[in-house]
Structure 1
């Protein structure tokens, strides 16, 4: 496991070099946070208690959402975008020659990226929001631990989805269209447009059961203490999707490797 830890640390240092881009991105997230707060305040003043959230819940959701967009990779992440590009260019063959597991290599890269983005891009917008609004924070040490685990699981679920999208390039040659479509689906079904709790009936049940819900809605609800099935149920929901996505990712990796060997042969 030492090699994968080294890969993650190298990825962390790599993204730490983009200081200006990181700060400007955090500023952009903060600006959008204020815009969304205006929208959410109007909506919750018209519909108090919408989705079981009060106004402070909704405002906290906004700033957590803005802080987590990049760490979780809801707009896509440069690591998996790079993987897709390597599949398109054929450089993925070099990755397959390495004495490491392809999925674990790119997972380590993505975790290093996410940890840096979480500290900087996640922390700055939340701090800005907390200075202006009365946001909610976990009050107990065990709640903070649950939040940390939920965020890690959210990153793993997101990676599992993005990894499969990137590997689709083995069969469709160019995965950029799939990546764009996946980003739109991710933004809606994760709760980045509106909290998933506001959707009623069967549609609300459906969107909250998708893997995208595990990337944003679930960890934010853990933060807010609003999980209907409790923290344990929320974490089990994430674990279930992690297992499904990584197992499917392993299967697709094996199929893709055989495809490369056949084409190369």
Structure 2
């Protein structure tokens, strides 16, 4: 039996033990969702017309949806792998009879699966009560949206994996992790829709994998893109995922050759 489904389950169980942190995170996501919805709705209302295709209700829905997907996608960078590289514990991972990248990916998918409901549902429920939601009436956007979210979670993992692997060459990675978090917060569409960016920044964002992490799943599940356009966005996500995973594997192979731990 493949160990990877077991690692998905292990990731789910691991994160399900942090119940107080999950509840606090759900509250935080909901509060920030209310703040962001107010800002976006105020922006659209003050303009006197829709902004880049968003009317007030759609802008509010975008705010709630991004807050719901924030935790599963894990937009912000973590340093778990970097710490294992720095301490030499990565040698244990390399010695295990599983692929380190695939094992970490499976574990992260388990984390995301757990986060989806307790961290994702409260902002959506609060949004429905406070502002209402502009959501599709047919099931297809939700089905394709969940598939897009799964790929978005994977793209986020692959990018964070690469950032953490810089620990093989850098003594301290906090600076690059902070830079990654700043870029992700902006370019994923977490703060405002990428469609609201100036032309040059919009083009820059789409030249990176960041919109594929959050903006694309939100657009697909809310039905802002449908049919072949939605499929095209998912294909773009898959292309970014394949490229990032390949880069991550190459970096791990190079980094493992230069790894030095006590005793050998």
Shorter-chain TM-score bucket reads: over 0.9
TM-score scaled by structure 1? 0.93
Q: Of 189, 192, 208, which residue of structure 1 is paired with 2:190?
A: 192
Classify the secondary structure of the residue corresponding to 2:133: coil
Residue in 2 that maps onto 1:15: 15
Secondary structure of the structure 1 residue equivalent to 2:259: helix
Partner of 2:223: 225
- In the TM superposition, residue 104 of structure 1 has moved relative to its aligned partner by 0.5
Report the CA distance between 1:137 and its aligned residue.
Answer: 2.1
Query: Which sections of structure 2, spanning at least 5 residues, go unmatched?
Result: none
Across the aligned residues of Structure 1 and Structure 2, the Cα RMSD in angstroms comes to: 1.8
SS in 2 for 1:168: helix
> What is the correspondence of 1:94-173 to structure 2 with a 5 Å cutoff?
94-173=92-171
User: What is the CA–CA distance in structure 2 between the aligned matches of 1:61 and 1:45, rounded to whole Å?
Assistant: 15
Unmatched 5+ residue regions in structure 1? none
Q: CA deviation at 1:261?
A: 6.3
Question: Given the two structures, how large is their TM-score scaled by the length of structure 2?
Answer: 0.94
What is the match of residue 74 of structure 2?
73
Question: Is 1:51–1:199's contact at 8 Å kept on the other side of the alignment?
Answer: no
Question: Structure 1 264/231 Cα, relative in aligned 2: closer, same or farther at 3 Å?
Answer: farther
Q: Tell me what 2:208 maps to.
A: 210
Distance in 2, matches of 1:252 and 1:139, equals 44
- SS, match of residue 163 in structure 1: helix
The answer as to whether partners of 2:146 and 2:221 remain within 8 angstroms in 1 is no
Residue 212 of structure 1: CA displacement? 0.3
The C-alpha deviation readout for 1:69-100, integer Å capped at 9, x for no partner, is 111111224xxx21111111111111111011
2:141·2:222 contact (CA, 8 Å) conserved in 1? Answer: no
